[in-house]
Amino acid sequence: MRKHSLSVILITKNEADRVVACLQSVATIADEIIVLDSGSTDKTVTICQEYTDNVSITDWPGFGKQKQRALDKATCDWVLSIDADEALDTKMQQALIQLLEQDVIQPTAYKLPWGVTLYGKTLKYGRSARSVLRLFKREGARYTLDEVHETVIPAEGEIATLPGFLLHYTHRDYGHGLDKSSQYAWLGAQKYHRKGKRSHGLGLALLRAIWTFFHIYILRRGFMDGSVGFIMAMTYAQVNFNKYVGLWLLEKGRS
């Protein structure tokens, strides 16, 4: 018997081709599903309305502010923040059900192991071999208001890890991956510029890119994921390089 209630929060824009798997993975577990859509022109909103009546159309204030808006609408004991290109695997679904059936849940938040699936392969190493904090007690939690790479700050307490995988279908294809990477690099550059962070020149931007590749491909064993692991390490290196080049150009007033 369920002892704790669960809100699922989701922000969307033009995710009709991916959001069904996401919603199906949480539909039987969530007590409420909250969707904030920032102007989809495909069938995303219609699809989401098949799973929940709590769908709102909004402007786009940035990732952090949008997720905080969704969190503000949540009413349940626990919150699961999930992206439209993600889905809980069967093991994680069962683990979440069992967790919510416990009389007392000691941790205030849970990290979910990421199962990044890219170009036909689920990655196990490199930057993909990490867990993301997505499940947390609603009371006392808040998001940072960053435009990109926002994080949730849970209530003070223990953070545990939920068994299973949060499957992450990050890129539709290579072209989408390039578009997404360039967007994150530029948003990251703007974020750093607003916060007063310095680039320290193009030479350091190159060194940062080299270090990123070495860290992901060698230290975190991205090479174990084969050719896709190499592509991912190069992609993250390029993003880091572009981010600091963008920051350098903003510093020079030449962006």
Select from 158, 180, 153, 159 the least CA-distant residue to 169. Answer: 180
Residue 62 shares a structural domain with residue 147 = yes
CB 197 within 8 A of CB 142: no
pLDDT at 177: 87
102 & 198 share domain: no
Last residue of a domain, one of 168, 196, 222: 168
Q: Are residues 123 and 20 in the same domain?
A: yes
The answer to whether residue 124 scores a pLDDT higher than 90 is no
Q: At what angle do helices 174-194 and 226-252 cross, to 10 degrees?
A: 40
Could you tell me the pLDDT band of residue 254, with boundaries at 50, 70 and 90? confident
pLDDT band at 202 (very low <50, low <70, confident <90, very high): very high
Average pLDDT, the chain: 95
Determine the average pLDDT of the residues in 220-242: 96
Which of 168, 196, 219 terminates a domain? The answer is 168
191 plus 130 within the same structural domain: no
Q: Which residue has the tokens 């969307």?
A: 12
User: What are phi and psi for residue 113, nearest 5 degrees?
Assistant: -60, 130
- DSSP labels, 181-200: HHHHHHHHHHHHHHTT----
Predicted confidence (pLDDT) per residue in 175-186, tens digit: 988 998 999 999
Q: Chain-centre distance of CA 11, in angstroms?
A: 11
Q: How far apart are CA 251 and CA 255, in angstroms?
A: 8
pLDDT at 173 over 90: no
Q: In terms of domains, do 122 and 139 share one?
A: yes
151 shares its domain with 199? no
Instruction: Give the model's confidence band at 118: pLDDT under 50 very low, under 70 low, under 90 confident, else very high.
Output: confident
**What's the CA gap between 120 and 125, in Å, rounded?**
15
- Domain extent at residue 183: 174-252
Q: Considering the domain boundaries, does residue 1 fall inside one? A: no
**Position 97 in a domain:** yes
For residue 181, give both structure tokens: 């990477």
Per-residue model confidence as pLDDT tens digits over 27-49: 999 999 999 999 999 999 999 99
Same domain, 58 and 138: yes
Last residue of a domain, one of 145, 168, 191: 168
Q: Please say if the pLDDT value at position 255 is more than 80.
A: no
- Let me know whether 82 and 96 are in one domain: yes
| Tens digits of residue pLDDT in 71-110 | 999 999 999 999 999 999 999 999 999 999 999 999 999 9
Mean pLDDT score, 108-124: 91
How many domains is the chain partitioned into structurally? 2
How much is the average pLDDT of 246-253? 94
Confidence category of residue 172, pLDDT binned at 50, 70, 90: confident
Q: Tell me: do 131 and 37 sit in the same domain.
A: yes
**Domain holding 140: CATH number?**
3.90.550.10
In a domain, 135, yes or no: yes
